[in-house]
Structure 1
Amino acid sequence: MSQDSPTPVPDPGLRPATVAVTAGRPPHVADQPLNPPIAMASTYVAGGDLEYGRYGNPTWAAFEETLGALEGGRALAFASGLAAVATVLDLVGQDATVVAPRHAYNGTVMQLGDLEARGRLRSELVDVTDTDAVVKACEDAALVWLESPTNPALEVADIATIAAAAHEAGAYVVVDNTFATPLLQRPLELGADLVVHSVTKYLAGHSDVLMGAVVTRDEQLYGVLKGRRDLLGAVPGTLEAYLALRGLRTLHLRVERAQANATDLASRLAAHPAVDQVRYPGFGGIISIVLAGGAPAADLLTRTTRIWVHATSLGGVESSFERRRRWKSEPATIPDALVRLSVGIEDVEDLWDDLRQALDAL
């Protein structure tokens, strides 16, 4: 796999909001549908590039074209975010080292732990806010995995500095961009080799799709990853790809509203006596709070709201939250009383009224 400069992607000069709406459309031809139709096909007539449903689908291709344009690379759709994670980690050689955040997405950390337990690779979990320590850890790494902001601690990494150090050491850099989305952060422009998404979250945005994606500018990496996807069969359903593309069309509107709501709520939460700590990086729609009353107060909060939904996922149009340490696999360095809030697009006054009455009762 080459470490040469990524192949530049043609830029049509359109702004992200316009790209989200216009990319991946059929040609503007009379009587052509505006949306790409759902191609429910497992088998194709021989002689072309597709041949079989595991190798490609026009509906996937439309989604991949749109996400690739937003991130500035070429996208591959996967059956889930964790299928995308597993395919990228499969690139790491035997006994090689992967550097990753100690507070990364729980599924990613669990995959690393499983691979390490089976002797496939070594992992070094780091505090991504300590840039010097991360740079030092890059010296022996084959792959550096970043999240920024991290899930659920909402720590921000210096992606550009870490990517430069990783490349100097001969390592690849992956950034999970699920929280920020390509509207708020484009890791490929900061030096990352690969971007991973849980499409389930913000990109699809309606809590009805399970899907993942990987984006890269490196044509050789793209070919290797597509070959692994074809071989392992970690492909998305056609309906899921269609719904994810439909979700992408309003991504800019949803992110704008969720971020405005989150910024407002973060300020109000910081002033409430039941809240000991507010973690908000200043962008995006995710807030984490630590409650003064400990884990019992956090559990009570998640049971006493009317609008906020107690659920483990995030990034939907509806507001949801959860105490992350209810999962035994969550790192012990995450506070017991931490509640991760995924702020939706409802009226912010209704969201605050619902939160405040629950907080007042603690």
Structure 2
Amino acid sequence: MSRMSEQWSARTRAIVAGRPSEQGQPMNTPIVPASMLGLDYARQDGTPTWAAFEAAIGELEGGRATAFASGVATVSAVLDGLRAGATVAVPSDSYAGTRSHLAHEQRAGRITVVPVEPGDTAAWLAAAGEADLLWLESPTNPSLHVIDIPRITAELAGREHAPLVVVDNTFATPLGQQPLALGADAVVHSVTKFIGGHSDLLLGVAIATDDKLANALRDARTRIGATPGALETFLALRGLRTLPVRFAEASRSAALLAERLSGHPAVSAVRYPGSGAMIAFELPDAGRADAVCRTLELVQHATSLGGVESTVERRASLAGDEHVAPGLIRFSVGLEDPEDLWADLNRALCSLN
């Protein structure tokens, strides 16, 4: 990247970052399926494919990136740096995979987990007095609660013994918010979702500005062996190239659909944070929510999200999300024509009468 990159938009940097700069090189870093490079295993030093993806996502988030085999592997790497008996504060509404992993670590006696209501900033600041790690997820999965990251980090900046602040930025993406610029110590993503964008890979990534923390995350990947695949990182970089246009289009559709859902008589509540491609809407009970999920034809009933296709899921039906409102449907808006999506939603909702 040249010095001009500081003046380029995120849309431009998503295209350029991580591209080979030498004359005569390929336009994009190829898949390098190597187990060894020189005298070292790729697990230790990475591969050109990993490096290209890490350079690109690091450029958008503003830090040094380390790719992992999955989002949960990224969570493991962050926890790996904590002292034995550490306290971790986590949103009571957040990704079930993260909470499941934290619960496992707590049962093993390695950490203590403190759940915090996502929108209660005072509770987060109180928890920070004892916590070694604040795990902030905003907006939260699946209920789309928003955490006041700038206020929390500003309050902690003046404390002598502040906890590590890590933000799961999967739903917002680096286009919706940049937690490192807001004062967070690290950012994590499930690359499987919006960054990959095509429902065809498993990958995670962590980004940090502090060299000590960035090196610790890289070291954890080496020791744990949670290394990404060559094909997965190649696909993730390709997905990142189109993230700005995909995310902008899906967000426009989501805003339109959230407004229409808010006015539908069958819908009891809509949660939309004002930007992004995720909507959570509620029906009066689980039975009607299940019926809508079954009746939809264009929108797919699936557990993942962030792809070019729109998906729905009643999250309270799954283990670990029993706290979610029974009739809440998590809706990931894709790239289909929004009028076609609305016709499908409206037909399914009206069929409840």
Query: When the two structures are superposed, what TM-score results if normalisation uses the length of structure 2?
Result: 0.96
1:136 aligns with 2:126: yes
Cα distance between partner residues in 2 of 1:10 and 1:130: 41
Distance in 2 between residues matched to 1:229 and 1:205, nearest whole Å: 24
The one-letter amino acid of 1:324's match is R
- Rounded to whole Å, the distance in 1 between the matches of 2:41 and 2:152 is 40
The residue aligned with 1:253 is 245
Aligned partner of 1:37 in structure 2 is 30
Counterpart residue type for residue 223 of structure 1: N
Of 206, 215, 220 in structure 2, the residue corresponding to residue 223 of structure 1 is: 215
Match of 2:139 among 149, 163, 169: 149
Residue among 304, 308, 314 paired with 1:323: 314
Matched, 1:52 2:46: no
- Secondary structure of the structure 2 residue equivalent to 1:249: helix
1:166–1:119 Cα change, 3 Å: farther
Q: How far did residue 12 of structure 1 move?
A: 2.8
**Identity score, percent:** 50
1:22 aligns with 2:13: no
Select which of 125, 150, 168 maps to 1:176.
168
Alignment of 1:78-157 (within 5 A): 78-157=68-147
The alignment covers a number of residue pairs equal to 347
Counterpart CA distance in 1 for 2:79 and 2:155 is: 20
**CA RMSD after TM alignment:** 1.3
From 292, 298, 306, the counterpart of 2:289:
298
> Offset at 1:28?
4.9
Deviation at 1:153, TM superposition (A): 1.0
Query: Following the alignment from structure 2 to structure 1, what is the Cα–Cα distance between the partners of residues 299 and 342?
Result: 10
The DSSP-based 3-state class of the residue aligned with 2:180 is helix
Q: CA deviation at 1:14?
A: 1.5
Matched residue SS, 2:238: helix
Q: Give the C-alpha shift of residue 159 in structure 1.
A: 0.3
Shift of 1:33: 1.2
Is the Cα–Cα contact under 8 Å of residues 166 and 173 in structure 1 kept in the other structure?
A: no
8 Å CA contact 1:112–1:123 kept in 2: the answer is yes
Deviation at 1:299, TM superposition (A): 0.6
Q: Retained in 2: the 8 A contact 1:309–1:321?
A: yes
Contact 1:147 1:176 in 2 (8 A): yes
Matched-pair contact (CA < 8 Å) for 1:312–1:321 = yes
Which secondary structure state, in structure 2, belongs to the residue aligned with residue 35 of structure 1?
Answer: coil
1:34 counterpart letter in structure 2: M
Match of 2:181 among 189, 198, 210: 189
Task: Please state whether the residue corresponding to 1:188 is helix, strand or coil.
Answer: coil
5+ residue gaps, structure 1 = 1-8
Paired with 1:118 and 1:88, the residues of 2 have a C-alpha distance of: 17
Q: Which amino acid aligns with 1:195?
A: V
Partner letter of residue 190 of structure 1? L
| Matches of 2:225 and 2:156, distance apart in 1 | 31
Structure 2: gaps of 5 or more residues: none
Q: Secondary structure at the match of 1:258?
A: helix
Equivalent pair of 1:166/1:172 in contact (CA under 8 Å): no
Please tell me whether the aligned partners of residues 5 and 13 of structure 2 are also in contact (alpha carbons under 8 angstroms): no
Instruction: Tell me, yes or no, if the aligned pair for 1:138 and 1:165 is still in contact at 8 Å.
Output: no
In 1, Cα distance between equivalents of 2:38 and 2:279? 50
After superposition, the Cα gap between the structure-2 partners of 1:96 and 1:165, relative to the gap in structure 1 and judged at 3 Å, is farther
Letter in 1 for 2:163: A
